[in-house]
Amino acid sequence: MALSKAASESDASIHSTFASRYVRVCLPRFKMPENSIPKEAAYQIINDELMLDGNPRLNLASFVTTWMEPECDKLMMDAINKNYVDMDEYPVTTELQNRCVNMIANLFNAPLKDSEVAVGVGTVGSSEAIMLAGLAFKRRWQNKRRAAGLPIDKPNIVTGANVQVCWEKFARYFEVELKEVKLSDGYYVMDPEKAVEMVDENTICVAAILGSTLNGEFEDVKLLNDLLEAKNKETGWDTPIHVDAASGGFIAPFIYPELEWDFRLPLVKSINVSGHKYGLVYAGVGWVIWRSKEDLPEELIFHINYLGADQPTFTLNFSKGSSQIIAQYYQLIRLGFEGYKNIMENCQENAVILKNGIEKTGRFNIISKDIGVPLVAFSLKDNSIHNEFEISDMLRRFGWIVPAYTMPPDAQHVTVLRVVIREDFSRTLADRLVADIQKVLSELDAQPARASAKLNAANSEDGTQQMTRKKSALEMQMEVCSVWKKFVDERKLKTNGVC
Ligand SMILES: Cc1ncc(COP(=O)(O)O)c(C=O)c1O
């Protein structure tokens, strides 16, 4: 052949070894490699390692969207190189963001006149949205107190102990004390009465959750509003409410339109929602909407003269991708109210089917509620022999990712498994999951029996008395229980890490 030896040796693209010779060496982990490698090899190496990640579609731990229509995927890919912050260069993208803000504000019943522009902004997720809303409350409270000559060094925020970790982050990063209403057995959301009792003159806001991360339950924002209004009247304070509607903000307006939780309630001054949860966009978009201009202190808005135009910004970061904003607009106009309603109803129906299947096993208590985020949270009726963490671990073998976690104080003795129902979780998958849970239960039931059978066999061989054998089996069971208890205790810290 005409090919020279030198050419065939140097051209890695025709190397016959799988993914070229580069997979024969250890992959760089700490230092950037000295030399370049061919793009095909880089792709293959990274793609292969990523195969070991879980399958996002089977990740039932997350509220975050894992499926979108191919047309929207295309729009997102087409915009992958657009920096959102270059508003002057990409004015249409900015306009799409503004349209999303208006549509979401209207969905949340913001008191806007026809064609009045809403006050809000797209963020990276609910966490950033909550930081911004929290800062607005803190600043508003400080301004008022300063004007009245009162101290401003001890701001606090009242929430339920079931808040997602982003509230703890807000409190720590922005130096606000987090006053948490404790949960109790069978009551896993913030009790509005206890919350209002905890409010004092230093409370910058009470944060209610529409769709608790732990069991999907909606907190009673209407009752909170009414109790707080009475307290404000009595004390002369004007403590406001923020609603963390990370999940519920794109559920309640469609399937529970009568439920009053949003700007219909006068004390609700801001609301956050995750576009990437039931807003049906891939990870990377959230929204915060304020009731009116007065609720967003002007000093939090930066006006920067960048690339030749005045750009008002009130986000924590600067550069970010545009794709998620574009995708959110796509979903809003593609689905419309009708489409979102259909999808949320379907999710809710699938949640009921899964719940019924889980209940039928006779082994679980259902912790989630019929009205709330479409999810099923459940815990074993008896976890003295086997516990929820084992079920979670064993379901992994079938490909399912179902988290187990303990509830926050004072319900930390309750351990929960949670399955989030997203748009792409079909009825067939629900049936399949129930069947696999049943298999796991049978397998677990057999485990101590198998272990004690082994012990019995060993005892018979060396002729030990029946009485001794019974005692050993009991001891063994207690030992197993204490190992599980330790296992649960070690995992307690993770409770608020679920998203
Ligand atoms: C109630 C609640 N608030 C806030 C968040 C944080 O949202 P994000 O992941 O969009 O930052 C979550 C996440 O699951 C949540 O459930």
Give residue 211 CA to ligand 1 midpoint distance, Å. 10
Domain check: are 299 and 398 in the same one? Answer: no
For position 21, what pLDDT does the model report? Answer: 58
What integer is the mean pLDDT of 228-250?
98
Residue 63: CB within 6 Å of ligand 1? yes
User: Which is more confidently placed, 304 or 428?
Assistant: 428
What integer is the mean pLDDT of 330-340?
98
Instruction: Specify the pairing of strand 364-366 against strand 375-380.
Output: antiparallel
Is 343 a domain residue?
no
Give residue 164 CA to ligand 1 midpoint distance, Å. 6
**Residue 487: pLDDT over 90:** no
pLDDT tens profile 140-177: 999 999 999 999 999 999 999 999 999 999 999 999 99
Q: Which of 127, 243, 285, 494 to mutate to test the pocket of ligand 1 (most atoms within 8 A of CB)?
A: 127
For position 303, what pLDDT does the model report? Answer: 81
Q: Supply the CATH number for residue 372's domain.
A: 3.90.1150.160
Residue 215: CB within 6 Å of ligand 1? no
Is 355 a domain residue?
no
Is 395 a domain residue?
yes
Range of the domain at 37: 5-53
Domain check: are 198 and 313 in the same one? Answer: yes
**Residue 474: pLDDT over 60:** no
Q: 453-466: string of b/e by CB count within 10 Å (b at 16+)?
A: eebbeebeeeeeee
Domain check: are 48 and 79 in the same one? Answer: no
Domain check: are 100 and 206 in the same one? Answer: yes
Domain check: are 13 and 79 in the same one? Answer: no
Residue 284: CB within 6 Å of ligand 1? no
What integer is the mean pLDDT of 283-301?
95
Cβ contact 430:353 at 8 Å: yes
pLDDT tens profile 182-206: 999 899 999 999 999 999 999 999 9
For residue 216, the tally of other CB atoms under 10 A from its CB is 27
Is 348 a domain residue?
no
User: Which is more confidently placed, 325 or 31?
Assistant: 325
Q: Which atom of ligand 1 is nearest to the CA of 64?
A: 9
pLDDT tens profile 42-86: 888 899 889 999 899 889 999 999 999 999 999 999 999 999 988
Domain check: are 106 and 22 in the same one? Answer: no
Mean predicted lDDT score pLDDT of the chain: 88
Q: What is the number of structural domains in the chain? A: 3
Residue 274: CB within 6 Å of ligand 1? yes
Domain check: are 255 and 392 in the same one? Answer: no
Domain check: are 265 and 377 in the same one? Answer: no
Q: Which atom of ligand 1 is nearest to the CA of 128?
A: 11
Q: What are phi and psi of 46, to 5 degrees?
A: -70, -45
Say which range, 26-35, 125-134, 216-225, 353-362, has the weakest mean pLDDT: 26-35
For position 3, what pLDDT does the model report? Answer: 42
